Structure 1
Amino acid sequence: MFVDGSPSTDSRRLPPAIADYRIVRGLGAGSHGLCYLAIPPDRLGLGVEHVALKVFSNPCGEDAFHRGARELRTFAAVDSVYLVKLYEAALHDLFMYSMVYFAGGSMATPAMPLPRDHALAVLECAARGAHDMHEAGLVHGDIKPANVMIAGANSGGPAGDNPPGALSGLGLARVITAATAVSGIGSSATLEFADPDTLVGQTPSRATDLWALGATIHRALTGEGLYGELPDMQPLVAIRTVQSTKPKLSESLSPAERDLISECLAPHSDRFRTAAELADRLGSLRTAQR
């Protein structure tokens, strides 16, 4: 149970605890919930000082909890250093799960300015995480800058045991809420990262995740959206914009960056064959930055 009722990241209203996690501070609000920095309970035996705790906003029934927990177990079973490690899922009025805390924040809200080669390294890790999911038969379905996590200062290179980034945020909202397609997308601004084909019934796939990676790379490197700035709380307007407007790449990109992103956004048959190919190209761009 939430100790004080409604969850909040406002320091004046933070609950002292959620279930048996002690809350330290808020980490921000996402499309479907709130994230907290928390001290994990001793029963988990994690040996870490802090974890990130994601708490979904909408009430969740027992059936929906089991669906969400099953999705998380499937995600956690993928053997990849490029995917955020999950600890547990629980139902305490609201659906919640704990995971590794990334001190660097996310590509949406980095804790510090990132040199371009560092940003490319983190994005490369996200692409490798997506590839590992795909090879395990999974589609992420919610790739965006807020789900590309940045490790702390002691991280290694993208190919090391302690990579500088990881992919998080499996799109659980689709399985733990009964929302309609429009209301279930959360912030309509996140439509920027959705392959437009999925808005007309295309099944999520490697190819649609590659689109999302391209849009994420564009936003992370330029601070600009492919469609300008979509209205945050007007989903129907945002959907019409995405369906009727051709994505526009920023003039601030280098020719090599433009080519890479364009290949992510191309018709399905012309995109990268795998996210690993995209990761390799990002690695080449990063090397060229030095």
Structure 2
Amino acid sequence: MSVLQVQGSWSEVKAGSSTGWVESRMLSASKPSAPSASVMQTSGSVVLRSVMGDTGPAIRTLASGTKVTVVDSSGSWRAVTEGSSTGWVPASSLVEPAVVKAFARGPVHVRPAAAAGGAVVTLVTGAEVSVLQVQGSWSEVKAGSSTGWVESRMLSASKPSAPSASVMQTSGSVVLRSVMGDTGPAIRTLASGTKVTVVDSSGSWRAVTEGSSTGWVPASSLVEPAGTVTKVTTAALNLRAEPSTSGRLIMTLAKDTRVNVLGTQGGWTRVKAGSSTGWVSSDYLR
């Protein structure tokens, strides 16, 4: 605001299109820290007022269920922003917003703002998020400790099937990143030879889990793990591309074929037989 004049302990100020007087002690030459903002929603129809109090001039009426950002408070009143309007409503007219759950349809960047470049984090297929609000074709979401925006078309009300997981190992030291790309924020560095579970993929990047951490590494940094466990087939056995009886058939292994075990998933075992890698039923290995 602009100070127009001072008379005693009062100052005449211009704030936006309004001019009036405030106690000078309530003004500061430097901008104070603003209270932490939070998202709430109206529990019913409520008048947004330019002045605190039931008789304050009305700016407009907010419909029930309108999401607002609370930017300040005083007693039983809250200053809120909705769209281009900022004003005051009773604290009793606000409730926590209903949480809507959704799932990522595929690998998707969570961006710092709608239609913005860059990314806060890259979600894997099936990652669960809380939808905070929708603006046009974009949704603001909370994923773990991260909040940002994704294209609404990349969200689903039901959890999609996750890609088949597989065990790989790092061919050298590699940085695990929260966002796909060589400049993505680093989570930590994986040592050479670290075994990881590949849970998703996008282009030349792979989403992997190691311990309690999930992030992205270049596909070129992963190799098949050394087969430290060897088993033998107890019957002629189909080697499939996916851990399912409907998975594409790669070849049929003869009885007593020796294979290297790479990982397991449910009742299936990922094996390497000669130069071929795929999945077989765990029931027919010893």
**TM-score w.r.t. length of structure 1:** 0.23
Give 1 or 2: higher helix fraction.
1
The structure having more radius of gyration, on CA atoms, is 2
Higher relative contact order, chain-length normalized (CA < 8 Å, sep 6+): 1
**TM-score w.r.t. length of structure 2:** 0.24
